[in-house]
């Protein structure tokens, strides 16, 4: 909000100078001068509220509404959307443990590392991290992994619909394609959630991070 505060201060300075200038007042109409005075009073009131006083006015409420709408719009346009997922075994609800960490960005940049975000990895152990910028390598790795994650476990490898092209598109550097893949992953995870809740076997390896045991929380 620094820019807003600076704008208010600049405007206050301008209005005070204009109202204190006899020539400027002489050039302005009575309605213009009255408008300046009202605006100056509102800006000063807003400035008081920003400095920590308890006074409130309609100008403060209006500012809060505008700020909330702006933040909402900003989150919609720029917010990072993520899925927190696990993988399950093909024939039972058993989570698959994966040690290596892989990051693939826009089918171009790849990071493979053994490090964890904890004290041991960051300060004690010697960890290995490999960074590459190779589109062919990144795309093939992403396609191979997502093919395993999103496949239909109940269909033969040569059966139609075994592999989900929408969930594993040819390229991920197109935002519109990435959005569709994101939505498709949500559908896959929702289907699996219904299966586990109803006591049925998994449909896909990809699962939403889920804990049904009330004794175990996500904080664990």
Buried b (16+ CB within 10 A) or exposed e, 133-168: eeeeebbebbbeebeebbbbeeeeeeeeeebbeebb
pLDDT tens over the chain, length 220 residues: 334 443 555 566 666 666 665 444 555 556 677 776 777 777 777 766 665 544 444 455 656 666 667 666 666 655 677 888 999 988 788 888 887 789 999 899 999 988 777 888 878 888 888 999 999 999 999 999 999 999 999 888 888 878 989 999 998 888 889 889 999 999 999 999 999 889 899 999 999 886 666 665 555 4
Q: Is the domain of 92 the same as that of 190? A: yes
Domain enclosing residue 201, as ranges: 85-97+140-208
| pLDDT at site 39 | 75
| pLDDT at site 54 | 47
Q: Is the domain of 152 the same as that of 202? A: yes
Residue 129 and residue 195 in contact, taking contact as beta carbons nearer than 8 Å: no
Give backbone dihedrals phi and psi of 218, rounded to 5 degrees, phi first. Answer: -65, -20
Residue 187 lies in a domain: yes
Q: Is the domain of 92 the same as that of 173? A: yes
| pLDDT at site 43 | 72
Give the containing element (helix H, strand E) for 86: strand 85-87
Give the containing element (helix H, strand E) for 133: strand 129-133
Q: Is the domain of 154 the same as that of 192? A: yes
Residue 26 lies in a domain: yes
| pLDDT at site 116 | 79
**DSSP label at residue 169:** -
Bridge-partner residues for 104, per DSSP? 110
The tens digit of pLDDT for each residue in 32-63 reads 777 767 777 777 777 666 655 444 444 556 56
């Amino acid at each position: 909000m620094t820019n807003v505060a600076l704008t208010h201060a600049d405007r206050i300075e301008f209005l005070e100078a204009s109202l204190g200038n006899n020539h400027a007042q002489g050039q302005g109409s009575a309605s213009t001068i009255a408008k300046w005075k009202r605006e100056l009073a509102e800006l000063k009131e807003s400035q008081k509220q920003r400095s920590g006083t308890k006074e409130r006015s309609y100008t403060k409420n209006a500012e809060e509404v505008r700020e909330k709408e702006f933040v909402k719009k900003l989150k919609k346009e720029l917010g990072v959307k993520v899925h927190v997922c696990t993988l399950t075994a093909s024939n039972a609800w058993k989570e698959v443990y994966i040690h290596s960490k892989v990051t693939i960005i826009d089918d171009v940049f790849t990071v493979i590392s053994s490090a964890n975000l904890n004290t041991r990895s960051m300060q004690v152990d010697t960890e290995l991290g490999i960074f590459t910028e190779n589109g062919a390598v990144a795309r093939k790795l992403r396609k191979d992994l997502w093919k395993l994650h999103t496949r239909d476990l109940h269909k033969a490898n040569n059966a139609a619909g075994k592999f989900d092209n929408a969930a594993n598109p040819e390229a991920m550097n197109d935002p519109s394609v990435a959005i569709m893949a994101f939505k498709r992953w949500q559908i896959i995870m929702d289907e699996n959630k219904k299966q586990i809740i109803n006591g049925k076997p998994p449909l896909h390896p990809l699962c939403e991070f889920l804990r049904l045991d009330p004794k175990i929380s996500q904080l664990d």
